[in-house]
Amino acid sequence: MEIAIIGAGIGGLTTALALKKASIPFRVYEAATELKPVGAGIMLASNAMTVYNYFGIADQLRALGITFKQLHITDAQLNIL
């Protein structure tokens, strides 16, 4: 039996890592012909980084990104929510 993962986005690829670590067969299905950067930002919360640390890729992700010291969520007038 093989698990089907639909989509090679962050969720699908993270699921693939988890299944690989558990030695569960899987196949990733993706409509795009190639995976490439699209220019969109991705923010990973600390709990996500804990998961990526478990998979052994957290340091690689940190090297490719920026760590926030502070983050404010605002409304359209930039008032902090």
pLDDT digits (tens, 9 = 90+) for 21-80: 999 999 999 999 988 877 778 889 889 999 999 999 999 999 988 888 888 999 999 999
Q: Can you tell me the distance from the alpha carbon of 81 to that of 70, in angstroms, rounded to the nearest whole number?
A: 14
Residue 60 located in a structural domain: yes
36 neighbors 21 (Cβ within 8 angstroms)? no
Indicate whether 73 belongs to any domain.
Answer: no
Establish if 47 belongs to a structural domain: yes
Domain that includes residue 57, residue range:
3-64
Q: Are 49 and 61 in contact (CB under 8 A)?
A: yes
**In the chain, how many domains are there?**
1
Are 25 and 47 spatial neighbours (Cβ–Cβ below 8 Å)?
A: no
Within a domain: residue 30? yes
